[in-house]
């Protein structure tokens, strides 16, 4: 199949970027999207040109490394699928594809389609550790947990931190990511002692990183490759407000 690619090229975070047009005459419908970019890069290298930089690792939809916007949609047109698991059979012969990086001030471009997502790492670090010791794996498994709570915790724990929620949100909010990371611990007994502190610390870190505020548009849920529900954002907001009130000194105000 023949494709026309418009790929965002940017030498580094300080340089100006632009879309560059490439003809892709030999794409196979059995390729993944990343394999198609590999073939493009092989051709560019053979011509003595700089290959397109993009993030990838496991290529199995697990690690969260891959991610860019395809025709205005993070990870591309197939719902619940990462870019590395998107196959070219989802496109038609002769299609034009516009490929660009995540767009968010908290995700500065490193080069081409690769962005710096270390802000997510700092949000996770702000959550700290859990203090409940459950011993070995059998001991931990012996801790009684309601089925509904364990299922919802696993739903939240599916988040791979790819950043599609941020890229899809008109406000570049990281609320779905942060809510998932808060939620999967807050739903389990082990996460209860630090639940309030964790919610406050992670939300404040998220705001400090420059992400936008959530306005409940739901674009994040639609773009999430793991289809994590925005219900976790409501839970995060409740935990944050509860934690902020419980931790404030007497007579102190909570700032916006």
3-class DSSP string for 58-75: CCCCCCCCCCCEECCEEC
Per-residue pLDDT tens over the stretch 158-175? 999 999 999 999 999 999
CATH for 118-247? 1.10.1060.10
Give the three-class secondary structure for 149.
helix
Six-digit token pair at 209? 């990183």
Give CATH 1.10.1060.10 domain extents, the chain: 118-247
Residue 187 predicted with pLDDT over 80: yes
245 pLDDT band, cuts 50/70/90, is confident
Give CATH 3.10.20.30 domain extents, the chain: 3-111
Per-residue pLDDT tens over the stretch 4-52? 999 999 999 999 999 999 999 999 999 999 999 999 999 999 999 999 9
Give me the pLDDT at residue 253, please: 52
Predicted TM-score (pTM) of the model is 0.92
- Give 60's contacts (C-beta < 8 A, 6+ positions apart): 84, 85
Other CB atoms within 10 A of residue 244 CB: 17
How far is residue 105's CA from residue 163's CA, in Å, rounded to a whole number? 12
**β partners of residue 24:** 3
How far is residue 239's CA from residue 127's CA, in Å, rounded to a whole number? 13
Calculate the average pLDDT of the chain. Answer: 93
Other CB atoms within 10 A of residue 225 CB: 27
CATH for 3-111? 3.10.20.30
How far is residue 226's CA from residue 62's CA, in Å, rounded to a whole number? 10
């Amino acid at each position: 199949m023949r494709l026309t690619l418009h790929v965002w090229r940017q030498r580094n975070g300080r340089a100006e970027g632009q879309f560059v047009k490439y003809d892709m005459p030999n794409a196979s419908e059995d390729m993944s999207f990343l394999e198609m970019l590999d073939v493009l890069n092989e051709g560019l290298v053979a011509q003595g040109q700089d290959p397109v930089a993009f993030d990838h690792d496991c290529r199995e939809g697990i690690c969260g490394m891959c991610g860019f916007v395809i025709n205005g949609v993070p990870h591309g047109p197939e719902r619940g699928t990462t870019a590395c698991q998107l196959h070219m059979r989802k496109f038609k012969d002769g299609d034009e594809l516009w490929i660009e990086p995540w767009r968010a001030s908290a995700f500065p471009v490193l080069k081409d389609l690769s962005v710096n997502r270390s802000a997510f790492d700092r949000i996770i670090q702000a959550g700290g550790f859990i203090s409940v010791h459950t011993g070995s794996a059998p001991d931990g498994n012996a801790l009684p947990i309601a089925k509904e709570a364990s299922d919802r915790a696993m739903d939240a724990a599916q988040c791979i931190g790819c950043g599609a929620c941020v890229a899809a949100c008109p406000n570049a909010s990281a609320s779905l990511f942060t809510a998932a990371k808060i939620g999967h611990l807050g739903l389990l007994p082990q996460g209860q002692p630090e639940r309030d502190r964790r919610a406050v610390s992670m939300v404040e870190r998220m705001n400090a990183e420059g992400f936008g505020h959530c306005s409940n548009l739901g674009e994040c849920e639609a773009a999430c490759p793991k289809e994590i529900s925005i219900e976790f954002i409501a839970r995060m907001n409740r935990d944050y407000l509860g934690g902020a009130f419980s931790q404030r000194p007497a007579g102190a105000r909570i700032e916006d």
